[in-house]
Amino acid sequence: MGSLLLKNKYREDRLLGLLKVKKRMDTKEVVNLLDISESTARRFLAELERRGVVLRTYGGVRLSPEWDSDYYFDDLKRRRAEQKARIGAYAASLAADGDILFLDSGTTLAAMAVSLSERIREGAIRDIQIYTNSLVNLKALAPCAQVHLIGGLFRSKRQDFCGHLAEMVLSAIAFKKCFLGTDGISLEPSEGIMATDVYTAKMGEIIIGRSDQTYILADSSKFMRRSFIGYAPLDSPRLIITDRDLKGEPLSLLRQSGTSVKRV
């Protein structure tokens, strides 16, 4: 990893660690914490805001909803909606007749569910079975396809299910293709595809192990970004689908690692 990326990663880890406790900081606090100039701090915070990690406020910064202690589906679905729609449409185009699919929860997967429902209604795909742990996906697909809802512990803010019961069901099913979201993608070998909580990480690990082909759906803000826990190496998915805002050194480093990336 380049020296500038390493330096920014160190700064990001320090800032996020304190923001998760304080929730808000003014620019002077950021300058003192990271030992940088005010102009450098402003540029750094602007980049973090572009990636969806923080939200800048008058005179300071706060943690974005996605990086706060809870995940808020309704807040996130409005962010980067155009990119998520393109990613979801491309992912839906990969489904084929007779597939047994798993669709993860999350806002990008919700966009895929909408596109997939359109393809099914048009008759472009036939005889597929869909499994999901997401109520949002269920509502989009149930009117036009055979959908199996994976139950378990309900998370209202995520509008999905997780936990031991969900893991037991998933461990018994063989999927042709699975489509997963992610809370962060790190180039660190020990991290890779990451999640904000153990439940999500464990389910992702099981689903990848039970699928012939794995696809990760992630808008460009998720890259070069650490979350709480890694559960799959970068070479585990068949393909990572993202948007065209992923470019430059992050894209080069990802491809150098041998990871297949499709930008749409």
- pLDDT tens digit sequence for 27-63: 999 999 999 999 999 999 988 887 767 888 888 888 7
pLDDT tens string for the chain (264 positions)?
455 566 677 788 788 878 877 778 999 999 999 999 999 999 999 888 877 678 888 888 887 755 554 555 555 555 678 999 999 999 999 999 999 999 999 999 999 999 999 999 999 999 999 999 999 999 999 999 999 999 999 988 889 999 999 999 999 999 999 999 998 998 887 889 999 888 999 999 999 999 999 999 999 988 887 778 899 999 889 999 999 999 988 898 888 888 899 999
Helix (H) or strand (E) holding 194: strand 193-195
Please state which CATH class domain 73-263 belongs to.
alpha beta
The per-residue pLDDT for 41 is 92
What is the CATH number that goes with domain 3-67? 1.10.10.10
The per-residue pLDDT for 14 is 83
Indicate the burial class of 64 (C-beta count within 10 angstroms; 0-12, 13-18, 19 or more). buried
> What is the three-class DSSP state of 103?
strand
Domain boundaries, given as residue ranges, for the chain: 3-67, 73-263
**Cross-strand pairs, 241:** 217, 262
